[in-house]
Amino acid sequence: MMTKILTIIGARPQFVKAAAISRAFIEQGDIEEIIVHTGQHFDANMSDIFFEEMNIPAPNYNLNINSLGHGAMTGRMLEEIEKIILKENPDFVMVFGDTNSTLAGALAAKKLHIKVIHVEAGLRSFNMRMPEEVNRILTDRISDILLCPTQQAVDNLKKEGYDNIECKVINCGDVMQDAAMYYAQNSSEQSSIITKCNLFAKPFCLATIHRQENTDDESRLAEIIDALNSIAEKEAVIVPLHPRTKKIIDSKNIDIKFTAIDPVGYFDMIELLKGCSMVLTDSGGLQKEAFFFKKHCITFRDETEWVELIDNGFNTVTGANKEKIESAYNTYKTKKSDFSIDLYGGGTAANRIAKEIVLNV
């Protein structure tokens, strides 16, 4: 008997995770997947290109819901996803991570008594001012199968009393490592970004800025950009610029000395990760991808969900503090680390997830 999964995705990291799991579903052979793209990331370079490049099955539904406040966006998604659930009647609804799409999908399913699978469950920043933290906590609480990427995530749920809640908690590893290992095999054939940006035999840092806590706070954004400008005097700094961040920089006429480029596809990002000297970011996913490609990471946040990267010396959390960012940069320019430690499952997470779903029908 086929197991029917309704997969909800809407943002770049979710496309990457979905690609790995969709492949595992096809290999499993007895899972039918219906993909719903909420439209949360609607820019072609941040959405369409991922489906094309990564051979993700085209979404069965595209809701095109974006450019709204948190309440309006989540409410619209909830309304539309509910209609699709009623039409498709899946065995499970699967959601990823911590976006508005995640929470809307989980809420719609739970209210219709459909089991919820949460991929990347149990992560905590312990900062309730982050919309992502609210989304992930609420989603975890109403999920039936909580697929944790790390032991720390499992431990977080235990501390919150999940042993006493009717659900299944599984440490399955991180599907982003599955995707990174799979696509890195031929990324050089699919990307010309190193040539395009003239980065051959040239040291460069890879940086991204997109979180609202940084982009919407003028002083934080100024500190981060000042730090990147300072580093750019020592070596090239390449910044694939999120559309919202670009709009803010342009509107405020902020002077940048680093190289800003348009958002890039996944293969381009892999090639930039392979070639860079280190990563500077406020992204959750990119912190791990830096580790997958054996690069140190500086994180422009006041906390991180990926504490194992901090504990093992691969990542430094600096907040939006120019002095701390530059100090971490200077440390990592000469630091040598052993990246062989297995923190995220070694690329087997998606297959384990497929098997667990079939076992739990």
Instruction: Specify the DSSP class assigned to residue 100.
Output: H
Q: Is the pLDDT of residue 46 over 60?
A: no
Determine what percent of the chain falls in helix, strand and coil, rounding each to the nearest 5: 50, 15, 35
pLDDT of 42: 60
Instruction: Judge whether 210 counts as a catalytic residue.
Output: yes
With tokens 């779903």, the residue in question is 357
pLDDT cut 90: percent of the chain above it: 78
pLDDT in the model for residue 139:
98
Q: Is the pLDDT of residue 140 over 60?
A: yes
What is the pLDDT confidence band of residue 68, given thresholds at 50, 70 and 90? confident
CA 278/CA 286 separation, integer angstroms: 11
Beta-bridge mates of residue 148: 171
pLDDT for residue 63: 94
More confident residue, 169 or 46: 169
- Asked if 226 and 257 touch (Cβ cutoff 8 Å), the reply is no
24 pLDDT higher than 90: yes
Nearest partner of 206 among 306, 293, 147, 127, judged by Cα: 293
Q: What are phi and psi of 136, to 5 degrees?
A: -70, -35
Give, rounded to a whole angstrom, the gap between the first and last alpha carbons of the chain.
Answer: 10
- Predicted model pTM: 0.88
Question: Per mean pLDDT, which range of 43-57, 62-76, 250-264, 294-308 is the poorest?
Answer: 43-57
pLDDT for residue 253 is more than 80: yes
**Domains, in order of start, for the chain:** 3-174+345-359 (3.40.50.2000), 187-334 (3.40.50.2000)
Residue with tokens 């970011």: 281
Residue 48: predicted pLDDT: 65
| Amino acid letter for position 251 | S
pLDDT tens string 150-166: 999 999 999 999 999 99
In the DSSP assignment, the letter for residue 173 is -
Tokens 């990347």 correspond to: 120
Alpha-carbon 19 to chain mean position: 13
The per-residue pLDDT for 54 is 74
Assess whether pLDDT exceeds 60 at residue 47.
no
Say whether pLDDT at 49 is over 90. no
pLDDT band at 43; cut points 50, 70, 90: low
How big is the CA angle at 326 (ends 320 and 329), to the nearest 5 degrees? 115
pLDDT in tens, 325-337: 999 999 999 999 9
- Residue 358 parent element (H or E): helix 349-359
Residue type present at position 339 = F
Report the candidate in 345, 331, 325, 338 with the shortest Cα–Cα distance to residue 282: 325
Q: Is the dihedral of CA 211, 180, 142, 127 positive or negative?
A: negative
Q: What's the pLDDT band for 44 if we cut at 50, 70, 90?
A: low
**Annotated active-site residue in 37, 41, 118, 210:** 210
**Alpha carbon distance 65, 70 (integer Å):** 11
Q: Among 10-14, 133-137, 251-255, name the most confident range.
A: 133-137
Residue 60 CA to residue 4 CA, distance in Å, equals 13
Residue-level pLDDT at 45: 52
**What is the distance of C-alpha 190 from the center of its chain?**
21
Average pLDDT, the chain: 93
The encoded tokens of residue 145 equal: 């199968």
